[in-house]
Structure 1
Amino acid sequence: MYLTNSGGQISLSRIFDGNPVATIVIDSEHRVIHWNRACAVMTGVPASEMIGSRDQWRAFYPDPRPILADLIVDGAVESKVDTFYHGKFHRSELIEGAYEAEDFFPAFGDHGCWLFFTAAPICDDQGRVIGAIETLQNVTERHRAEEALRASEERYRELSRTDALTGLLNTRTLWEHLLHEIARAKRYGRPLSLMVLDCDDFKAINDRFGHLEGDRVLIELAALIRACERGSDSAYRYGGEEFVILLPETAATSAMQLAERVRARFAGIRLPLADAEAISATISIGVAEWRPGEDEQTLIRRADEAVYAAKHRGKNCVVLAE
């Protein structure tokens, strides 16, 4: 077939070959009749290996299977297309009988690539399908940009929920989770406990060793809290040197045992300094079990009061709230 202008005839083959969009054309017998230069560059398979063959799958897949153009030639029943492109395709809004799809091809390039491809029927004057044309576009950079944006948004959400120094959840997140856990404990009649931990004489540590070393103490305490957490527990930095551990499905007795374990382990930690000296610190812990009808502020206040009681008892101890 030719197009005609004042300079003569131009074959459609030349038009296809000069098209910057990778293009494949197959006939009604699934034989490749056009495999343009852009397609050869994209797939790494020259046209000489494809023209006249039914091996178009070889450029895209490790095993024989139809490409989208093959499905168009076979009638493009949607359920059949779904077999090969489940969740990755839709009908074209521009071309009747055509489909569009997007998929990842691991064999393309150094790290694989994402391709957006459209396949449409080629019909004769009577409307009979005599072949199909498929175009392919590399959309890898778009996918990478979208993934980077999603990662950035997730990182922003994470930063908005966590404390920058310790990596524990922050106070705002504590109140959200505490409301949820109290509602759950009330609904199902399950126990819920909470402990508040306060680093003893923290101002003296900062004054003697400096704020950077004080931060090391808090980071070490946060790491210990994470190590002692159980699967359902969650930990928060509540204030400067105060921390909270929320303990769903936990009665006061078990919470006291966990608190004592955290207290004892932290008391045994020594943080070495450059001059062979080491920093040691202790914590006072208040434990409170939720009472039916109690709101989140009252629960936290009772645990705080238990911390103050622990301070008055000489620090480095655990007190259960009245």
Structure 2
Amino acid sequence: MLQILASALNAFPVACFLINSEHRVIHWNMACEVLTGVSARVIVGTKDQGKAFYACDRMVMADLVLDGAASNQVDALYHGKFRPSSTVPGTYEAEDFFPNFGKEGRWLYFTAARICDVHGTPIGAIETLQDVTARQQAEAALHLSNERFKALSWIDDLTQLYNSRRFHEVLDNEISRAARYAHPLSLMVFDIDYFKQINDTHGHQEGDRVLRLIAEQLRQWQREADHLFRFGGDEFAVILPETNAAAAHSAATRLVEAWRQFNGNGAGAATHGSTLSVGVTQLKADDTAETLVRRADQAAYEAKRLGRDRVIGA
């Protein structure tokens, strides 16, 4: 019977090994030799199963289930990477990365279960292992692709700034963070004065050129923590974390002056002498994202009403 079992396990295409009640390896099938690079001749009769998988000698899953380890004991070695079997009590399955296999390591899915005699006394354990590296790599590539697609969906094609969809996500997060830590947060919104005339007189390609130049100036002007957005059309917004109303007003004034200077340094023809009307405001205790944006918008409208090319705080 034992010979039949050994032959069956050797013919089994899934890597597996058996240990006895003393934790000694009593069978190491051919698939396990291929997977680990360790021959049965070397390991059978030893307690070196841990060395075949890890850089140091340690217990493997089969050792744990043989000793009847509780979930918290298994968690100590396979934290967040294992789960109990839904069908056989005391049996576990896990998935983990093994850096010592091959040049770049391998991901293995493995299971372990106790073997008991007719009286229910544990006499050993079996562990099976499958190489799931290809699946893990495919899932990682898919996740990366999804993240890239998500990031692209946040970007305005023309200016390469974040778009309005991303604006609302970031603003909600920054409002929550500012409220949690009682830190200041300000918002700046602006548009280009008489932008419609640029489009009507010089064409949309010239209007697009001005928008790209504004985006370049914004990137040069911004601080590391600031978030830049194009809403659409000629409307832009900047979220300024850790910034109070006075500092936001000062930063906005520097932007308006930088755009004036840019025009004065020979770029006036490219920008068609355009100017900026800017509104700034600081988050208040009872603000929502909607009220904060509305107040900044109103300040920008007031800047236009008062003659444009200026900053108004609210």
- Distance in 2, matches of 1:184 and 1:128, equals 57
Range with bigger deviation, 238-247 or 125-134: 238-247
- Distance in 2, matches of 1:158 and 1:198, equals 25
What displacement does 1:15 show? 1.0
Residues 267, 283 of structure 1: 8 Å contact kept: yes
Trace 1:110-121 onto structure 2 (pairs within 5 A): 110-121=103-114
- Distance in 2, matches of 1:237 and 1:111, equals 43
Residues 255, 287 of structure 1: 8 Å contact kept: no
Where do 4+ consecutive residues of structure 1 move more than 6 Å?
Answer: 179-191, 205-210, 291-294
1:166-210: per-residue Cα shift (whole Å, max 9, x none)? 333322444566678789989999866433333467665997698
Q: Secondary structure at 2:232's aligned position in 1?
A: coil
Matching residue's letter, 2:90: G
Q: Secondary structure at 1:225's aligned position in 2?
A: helix
Residues 56, 67 of structure 1: 8 Å contact kept: yes
Matching residue's letter, 2:64: L
Counterpart of 1:69 in structure 2 is 62
Trace 1:86-105 onto structure 2 (pairs within 5 A): 86-105=79-98
Instruction: Determine whether 1:155 maps to 2:151.
Output: no
- Distance in 2, matches of 1:172 and 1:85, equals 39
Counterpart of 1:30 in structure 2 is 23
Instruction: Determine whether 1:304 maps to 2:296.
Output: no
What displacement does 1:214 show? 5.8
Counterpart of 2:129 in structure 1 is 136
- Distance in 1, matches of 2:29 and 2:182, equals 70
Which of 276, 284, 295 lines up with 1:284 in the alignment?
276
- Distance in 2, matches of 1:128 and 1:121, equals 10
Which of 229, 245, 248 lines up with 1:236 in the alignment?
229
Counterparts in 2 of 1:268 and 1:95: CA distance versus 1, 3 Å: same
What displacement does 1:79 show? 2.8
- Distance in 2, matches of 1:291 and 1:196, equals 14
Which of 251, 254, 263 lines up with 2:247 in the alignment?
254
Residues 249, 280 of structure 2: 8 Å contact kept: no
- Distance in 2, matches of 1:283 and 1:49, equals 80
User: Structure 2 length normalisation: TM-score?
Assistant: 0.78
Q: Secondary structure at 1:116's aligned position in 2?
A: strand
- Distance in 1, matches of 2:218 and 2:181, equals 27
Q: Secondary structure at 1:33's aligned position in 2?
A: strand
Counterparts in 2 of 1:183 and 1:57: CA distance versus 1, 3 Å: closer
Q: Secondary structure at 1:168's aligned position in 2?
A: coil
Trace 1:178-197 onto structure 2 (pairs within 5 A): 193-197=186-190
What displacement does 1:52 show? 1.7
Normalized per residue, the structure richer in helix is 2
Residues 114, 126 of structure 2: 8 Å contact kept: yes
User: Structure 1 length normalisation: TM-score?
Assistant: 0.77
Counterpart of 1:80 in structure 2 is 73
Range with bigger deviation, 284-293 or 233-242: 284-293
Counterpart of 2:116 in structure 1 is 123
Counterpart of 2:256 in structure 1 is 263
Residues 196, 307 of structure 1: 8 Å contact kept: no
Residues 23, 134 of structure 1: 8 Å contact kept: yes
- Distance in 1, matches of 2:60 and 2:178, equals 55
> What is the alpha-carbon root mean square deviation over aligned residues?
3.7
Instruction: Determine whether 1:53 maps to 2:49.
Output: no
Counterparts in 2 of 1:196 and 1:57: CA distance versus 1, 3 Å: same
Counterpart of 2:311 in structure 1 is 319
Report how many aligned residue pairs link the two structures: 303
- Distance in 2, matches of 1:172 and 1:29, equals 62
Matching residue's letter, 2:15: A
Matching residue's letter, 1:305: Y
Matching residue's letter, 1:112: G
Which of 7, 25, 29 lines up with 1:14 in the alignment?
7
Unaligned runs of 5+ in 1: 3-9, 271-277
Residues 256, 275 of structure 2: 8 Å contact kept: yes
Counterparts in 2 of 1:302 and 1:115: CA distance versus 1, 3 Å: same
Residues 73, 131 of structure 1: 8 Å contact kept: yes
Counterpart of 1:275 in structure 2 is none
Unaligned runs of 5+ in 2: 264-268
